[in-house]
Structure 1
Amino acid sequence: MQDTTLRTDFWGSLIGYGNLKIKTASAASQIVFDHVPNPESVQALISEQRRRLLAEKLAEQREGLRMQLVKDLRLSLLSQVPDQTLPPGLKPPIVLSWWQKWLATLAKALHFVFFPFEFLFLRPLSWVMRIFAQRRLSRATRTGTSAPASWPPGGLRQTRRCGASTG
């Protein structure tokens, strides 16, 4: 089979029938089916079967070549299962056992329980510590004394404006 051609006239498109022509490489050269109901699905079915047949032939050729190489090189067969490759960008799915699923569910539950504690207590505490550190640093610069070297822990980030220098 070389190609399939679908022809429908006005009435055929209204009622849902058409003529399907299949071109082959044989002496008969073409096969015509007249007044085929639902011709688009028939054409798609024929194309799908052709694609499957070509894929099977290719797989048989590859397997025959593989077996010939194994025989000629005297190799032992490593695997009878053909490689199954995923499209690029996709990772194989991770299969978790029942205890891994249970542990993941427990971790999610604990996260939801302790997340408000982090959001309501720890973050505001770090904001308050930053404000006190900034006040202490500004007070030290106003009075001319230096802030302790250990304060604030981790240091403060200072922003510079264009043309301004820090002393």
Structure 2
Amino acid sequence: MCHWVVSEFLSGRRRSSADFSVGVIGWALARVVEVAAVAGVIVVISSSASSSRPRLCRSSSKSTSSSSSSSSSICSSSVVVVVVVVVVVVILIGVIVVVVIVYVVVVVILVGVIVVVVLTVVEVVVVEVEVVVVVVVVVVVVVVVVVVVVVVAIVVVHNHVVSFQ
């Protein structure tokens, strides 16, 4: 995605903001579908691989009645549904954050370029151009830190969901 944004920006081709928005939204939806498919496969494999009931649904009695087995399957399926819902919500939050960050980075780059061009045309002192470059670099670093924090949060939530099973 970043390669596409940079190549579109550097190519000099004029694209409307609608084209860019459709590209970003299409990319985000493709990531949602990919991650949801992987999460679905992981849930199916993990639920079929476990031969015993999840710890959340274990009962202390060891009765073998039909009501016990039906409650086990209901409980097992409810755990799978909860896990799938949590995974999908985390993925959607991640994708929304990534889309927002991409827009922020593109806007910062465009504003930086516009400011540098305006300052160069007006022939302002070089020190002010360096200040603008420093501001752009600081904003990009802040965006990278936000991305790292979001990724760490997603990993922590994922580990919590996995340990919950």
**TM-score of the alignment, normalized to the shorter chain, above 0.5:** no
- Of Structure 1 and Structure 2, the greater helix share is in 2
TM-score, normalised relative to structure 1 = 0.29
- Of Structure 1 and Structure 2, the greater strand share is in 1
Higher relative contact order (CA 8 A, sep 6+): 2
TM-score, normalised relative to structure 2 = 0.29
